[in-house]
Amino acid sequence: MQVFKFGGASVKDADSVCNVGKIIEQFGSDGSLLVVISAMGKMTNAFEALLNTLWKSENYMSEWGRIRKYHLDIIYELFEEEQNAIEAEEILLALFNELESVFMSIEHNKNYDELYDKIIGYGELLSTRLVAYHLMQSGLDVVWIDARKVIVTDSSWRSANVDWDATQKRVGEELLNYLESGKIIITQGFIGANAEMSPTTLGREGSDYSAAIFANLLNAKKITIWKDVQGVLNTDPKIFPEAQLFAYLSYQEAAEMSYHGASVIHPKTIKPLQEKNIPLYVRSFLDTQKSGTCIDNTVSRKIIPSISFRRGMYLMMLESKSFGFLETQKILEILKGVFSDEVLFVHFNRMGLSIASEEKFSLSDDLLEQINFLGFELKELNDLLMIYVKNPDSNIEQVIRKRWRILSSQTDKYRMYFLAEPEEII
């Protein structure tokens, strides 16, 4: 069996939905198929805006009207036959009504994140209902599945953790029969539910991860993420127009690149695939002739450098004011509390040190006092750009230092981290 994943851009309007149908017909008949689909276009952002208005008890009619109109416009364009348009409209209206009853029941003293998970996933529910109906009208044998009944998570609202054993059981109960009888399963990315059936979400852009979860638990032969780009590029073409496409990439490299900011796949996607050695294809839904990028276990491929970018990084610098040399032991002892999983690198020299992190540190008054007492000047910098190079070649460092003013870095033969002021392109 195989898994397809279509993101928001691939279902953003009626033509795109038709294109998804064509891809499923052309490439999906090789064994059984499960299709994971995201919310249409930028609908998740639209739902977030709606929720913010609702939460402030402001009039939400304009946001809500925009969401409704967006979906309704798509069905009026998609279905020429009046009867089909009416049926599709009924499907949407039922979901709109369900949502409205959630709006009515909002309790402002409750947890915002919990409410977020109740509402935001409707982007996916609407989109998959609509695509499933379209595919059925095109003659495909599809079944729509509510992912909240399959993906079991804990209650960490907005970034829920999957309960793999419970989900495996549900996959057996809810999906296997359909796949065995040759039906194409259409389901949502990004959403699940806790053991009490309260909806949860896996984190923004989490649909890739959902597809990988299904692929893992169904022992898929392969998974394809259909995107509006050709595949995985070695860097951001907006910054380096000479970016190259990877024909092949190892799991390890793909995981590192996505973790360090390459936005082409969600960072959590790789692990469940690597575990079962399932190849991941990243391909263009616009140019289906091209084979895109294949990510798998093979490592001995032509290695080209990759450069990823991530914003919002933090740098803490300590410099000796007293011309004394760094007392490494002492300073490490007092900084013990700030080290966490978010730290990217620590850079020491005899006059001081810098620590780069994904998150800002919260420094207690006591710690500040000790830093001062040991004769250090503290500097904190926020919102920095991280430039991450994997497999550097001999001139990359020079190219980067020419372009950005680097505040701190750590480099070795295999990886280089640079922190720079984002706007400061020299």
List residues binding Mg ion (CB under 5 A): 8, 38, 44
Minimum distance, C-beta of residue 188 to ligand ASP, in the bound complex (Å):
9
Select from 37-45, 53-61, 134-142, 295-303 the region that touches ligand ASP (CB under 6 A): 37-45
Minimum distance, C-beta of residue 28 to Mg ion, in the bound complex (Å):
21
Report the residue from 21, 206, 272, 392 that binds ligand ASP according to the rule CB under 6 A. 206
Closest CA to 200 of 111, 288, 138: 111
Q: Of the two residues 16 and 306, which places its CB atom closer to Mg ion in the complex?
A: 16
Report the residue from 21, 28, 41, 189 that binds ligand ASP according to the rule CB under 6 A. 189
Q: Is 158 in the site for ligand ASP (CB under 6 A)?
A: no
Q: Is 123 in the site for ligand ASP (CB under 6 A)?
A: yes
Q: Of the two residues 45 and 137, which places its CB atom closer to ligand ASP in the complex?
A: 45
**DSSP H/E element including 98:** helix 82-104
Count of H-run helices and E-run strands, the chain: 14, 17
Report the residue from 2, 32, 44, 216 that binds ligand ASP according to the rule CB under 6 A. 44
Q: Is 192 in the site for ligand ASP (CB under 6 A)?
A: no
Q: How far apart are CA 1 and CA 222, in angstroms?
A: 7
Q: How far apart are CA 356 and CA 340, in angstroms?
A: 11
Minimum distance, C-beta of residue 371 to Mg ion, in the bound complex (Å):
43
Extract the tokens encoding 253.
């490299």
Report the residue from 149, 158, 169, 204 that binds ligand ASP according to the rule CB under 6 A. 204
* Strand boundaries in 18-78, DSSP class E: 33-37
Give the angle 341-343-344 at the CA atoms, nearest 5°: 120
Q: Is 7 in the site for ligand ASP (CB under 6 A)?
A: yes
Q: How far apart are CA 332 and CA 353, in angstroms?
A: 10
Minimum distance, C-beta of residue 45 to Mg ion, in the bound complex (Å):
8
- Look-up: residue for tokens 């540190």? 361
Q: Of Mg ion, ligand ASP, none, which one sits near residue 294, judging by CB under 5 to 8 A according to partner kind?
A: none
Minimum distance, C-beta of residue 8 to ligand ASP, in the bound complex (Å):
5
Report the residue from 207, 216, 224, 274 that binds ligand ASP according to the rule CB under 6 A. 207
Give the angle 288-294-299 at the CA atoms, nearest 5°: 165
Q: Of ligand ASP, Mg ion, none, which one sits near residue 224, judging by CB under 5 to 8 A according to partner kind?
A: none
Minimum distance, C-beta of residue 124 to ligand ASP, in the bound complex (Å):
6
Query: Is 258 within 8 Å of 267 (Cβ atoms)?
Result: yes
Q: Is 190 in the site for ligand ASP (CB under 6 A)?
A: yes
Q: Is 117 in the site for ligand ASP (CB under 6 A)?
A: no
Report the residue from 3, 8, 92, 234 that binds ligand ASP according to the rule CB under 6 A. 8
Question: Long-range contacts: 294-300, Cβ < 8 Å, 24+?
Answer: 294/247, 294/248, 294/249, 295/232, 295/248, 295/249, 295/250, 295/251, 295/254, 295/270, 296/248, 296/250, 296/251, 297/250, 297/251, 298/248, 298/250, 299/250, 299/252
Q: Is 187 in the site for ligand ASP (CB under 6 A)?
A: no
Neighbouring residues of 228: CB distance < 8 A, sequence distance ≥ 6: 9, 10, 284, 285, 286
* Strand boundaries in 165-220, DSSP class E: 184-188, 191-194, 199-201
Q: How far apart are CA 88 and CA 75, in angstroms?
A: 7
Residue with smallest beta-carbon separation from ligand ASP:
207
Minimum distance, C-beta of residue 45 to ligand ASP, in the bound complex (Å):
7
Q: Of Mg ion, ligand ASP, none, which one sits near residue 206, judging by CB under 5 to 8 A according to partner kind?
A: ligand ASP
Residue 395 DSSP SS3: coil
Residues contributing to the site for ligand ASP (CB under 6 A): 7-8, 38-39, 44, 123, 189-190, 204-207
